[in-house]
Amino acid sequence: MIEDTFLGLDLSTQGLKAVIIDSDLSIVFETAVNFDKDLPEFDTEGGALIDGETVTTPSLMFVKALDLVLTQLSESDIDLCNIKAISGSGQQHGSVWLNYSAKTSLSSLCPSLKLSEQLKNIFSMPNGPIWMDSSTGKYCRGLESVIGGPKELARITGSRAFERFTGNQIAKYFYGKPEIYKETERICLISSFIPSLLIGDFAAIDFSDGSGMNILDINEKNWNETALNYVGDDKLEAKLGKPLASHTVAGNISKYFVEKYDFSADCEVILFSGDNPNSLAGLAVTGPNDVIISMGTSDTIFGATEKATPSEKNGHVFVSPMNPDSFMVMLVRQNGSLTREKVRDQRADGSWKTFTEMLCKTPAGNNGKIGFYFFTPEITPAIKNTGVFRFDSNGQKTDGFSPEEEARAVYESQFMSLRLHSEQFGLNPDLIIATGGASVDNALTQIIADIFGKPVAVGDTPDSAAMGAAYRALHGYICNKNGAYVPYTDVTAKAIQPEVVSEPDMSNYEVYSNLLPRFEELEKTLK
């Protein structure tokens, strides 16, 4: 029997990955292109061109990467004609600016030539801004001011103004380089550019990645007029196109790919979304309230929720990539693994084994002792001052933590803070999926389980954004076949379930819940 397959493409900062799954969600083929290594002619560093605060990426590099990945796929044993649908993931916030010749070029591609040869002149700005750019502070303040302040902007768009968010990037060119803005027929997100190549026409921005622009009303699911009028003019709405739900079919794959690579003419292209939304779609496969805690240099908590309360200070609410009527919350804590390691080095001679043994010598809640560890300025909550701030059980400042108390204090403080801030955003997990290096540390996953009062599973899907893209290809395909939205979890039920490694001790959970109000008060005293 011929097996239906689904293709997920993940265009990250560093490269382009492709993963093909079957309808049982098993991987049948994977391949990848690395920008710096495989496309050295663009001279990127980690996929980016860094010029002070301005950080861009050559848009043609994305086209060449697609040429390369599709060639690799067509040279494999996989029959591309069995791919029923394609979806994808793009690094969030980055944009691709297309001129007035792009639409014709996209729709009249010649199969004997490479994409990059035919599309090199379609850009009104050859290097588009990406998420690492921090050059738009002035426009962020301007946008917040016309909307009525950061709180109001967050209420409408899910986030206060952030430099990397695309609306503020658009403002920079609208005011600073009006000729580029004028020559642009379409502003794509990276996530809407790749499907545009695939369908040979402009593909829509999806609600979820569109939420990373500071101009989309996440409740109305449409552009906010005041924001558009500030970051551009009355032509901006047409330049952006109408945003659509993430499971929407953008169109069928264009003739070029059918003739050149033997795709089937009825292969559907489902709207692409951002990398963080796709990672959630690739990991949160067991239930609608699964929450991911990804522990790396920084710790990120993200998950789906029906109701979200955006903050004027930190974190983001995006429309969920799995359900247009639901939301996704994402919070980043800057002081993650490196901070834990520093305390381990100072107090346990650099040994995790000693550190874990020390943890066992103190009770949950550390007898009321609370510490805050900010070796770099923190963003959740926003705290500029770095240092270690210790408090005794009466809330008085102290320097006297024993090594054992210190070990416990750093773990408890990091995850009480994540619980506090994610609850305030509306996250209420049934299950926590821990990923990243520190997820192998059982002592840590137990503390997380006890703080949140929920089981912790370890679910390392190394390429979660690419997997999420492939799952979403299947999801979009099924929704279209059904003629209506189908719950995402119905489609991903066959995915390998992450294994629960720590069950909560509910008496410890009570200790933490009682400690949380005092923790919150102390955290508020730090600046």
Options 35, 97, 123, 131; binder of ligand XUL; rule CB under 6 A: 131
519 touches ligand XUL (CB under 6 A): no
Interacting residues with ligand XUL between 3 and 22 (CB under 6 A):
13
Give the DSSP H or E segment for 183: helix 178-183
Options 10, 206, 217, 275; binder of ligand XUL; rule CB under 6 A: 275
Q: State which residue, 191 or 286, has the beta carbon closest to ligand XUL.
A: 191
Check residue 367 and report its DSSP letter.
Answer: G
Compute the least distance from the CB of residue 394 to ligand XUL, in Å.
Answer: 39
Interacting residues with ligand XUL between 427 and 486 (CB under 6 A):
none
Interacting residues with ligand XUL between 146 and 175 (CB under 6 A):
164
Residue 61, CB-side half-sphere exposure with 13 Å CA sphere = 30
Compute the least distance from the CB of residue 130 to ligand XUL, in Å.
Answer: 8
Question: In the numeric block, which tokens belong to residue 11?
Answer: 């265009």
- Cis amide prior to 487 (ω within 30 degrees): no
91 touches ligand XUL (CB under 6 A): yes
Rounded Cα distance between 274 and 95, Å, is 12
Interacting residues with ligand XUL between 205 and 244 (CB under 6 A):
212
Q: Which residues contact 113 (CB under 8 A, 6 or more apart)?
A: none
Compute the least distance from the CB of residue 479 to ligand XUL, in Å.
Answer: 25
How do 290-295 and 431-435 pair as beta strands?
parallel
Compute the least distance from the CB of residue 94 to ligand XUL, in Å.
Answer: 8
93 touches ligand XUL (CB under 6 A): yes
Write out 345-363 in H/E/C secondary structure: HHHCCCCHHHHHHHHCCCC
The distance from CA 110 to its chain's CA centroid, rounded to whole angstroms, is 35
Span from 252-260, 270-278, 280-288, 500-508 in contact with ligand XUL (CB under 6 A): 270-278
Compute the least distance from the CB of residue 127 to ligand XUL, in Å.
Answer: 17
276 touches ligand XUL (CB under 6 A): yes
Compute the least distance from the CB of residue 278 to ligand XUL, in Å.
Answer: 10
CA nearest neighbour of 185 among 62, 102, 63: 102
Compute the least distance from the CB of residue 431 to ligand XUL, in Å.
Answer: 23
User: DSSP assignment of 87-153, as one string?
Assistant: EEEE-TT-EEEEETTHHHHHHT--TTS-HHHHHTT-EEESEEE-TT----HHHHHHHHHHHTSHHHH
Interacting residues with ligand XUL between 54 and 73 (CB under 6 A):
none
- Binding site residues, ligand XUL, CB under 6 A: 13, 91-93, 131, 164, 212, 274-276
